[in-house]
Amino acid sequence: MAASNPKAIVFAAAFFPQFIQADRPAGLQFAVLLITFTVIEVSWYLIYALSGHKLSRFLQHDHVMKNFNRVTGGVFVGFAALMAASR
């Protein structure tokens, strides 16, 4: 997913060169960095997916969903109040 994201490309172009040693082959170094970045990124996607799956089972209970909606609605109203007060 990150390969098609312009922000990820800019991030990689700005971040990766800091870790490249000029006296060694750049291709292998970039490959190691990209593989490391990919493993970390995919690991986070897996964590998000598993957490979402667990949360979805929990939210299937009506009383839990009702309280969840109240809390998240209150948070958004609070954010709106803070934004209105900041002007």
Q: What is the pLDDT along the chain (87 residues), one digit of tens a residue?
A: 666 778 877 887 888 888 889 899 888 998 898 899 889 989 999 999 999 999 898 889 999 999 999 999 999 999 999 999 997
Give the pLDDT score at 68.
92
Question: What's this model's pTM, rounded to 2 decimal places?
Answer: 0.60
The CA distances from residue 8 to 49, 57, 69, 73, in Å, are: 21, 32, 33, 32
Give the pLDDT score at 30.
87
Tokens representing 18?
A: 């800091």
Give the separation between CA 10 and CA 1, rounded to whole angstroms: 14
Backbone φ and ψ for 45, nearest 5 degrees, come out as -60, -40
Give the separation between CA 73 and CA 37, rounded to whole angstroms: 35
Give the pLDDT score at 49.
96
- Could you please report the per-residue DSSP string of 59-76? HTSHHHHHHHHHHHHHHH
Give the pLDDT score at 38.
86
- The 8-class DSSP code of residue 23 comes to T
Give the pLDDT score at 82.
96
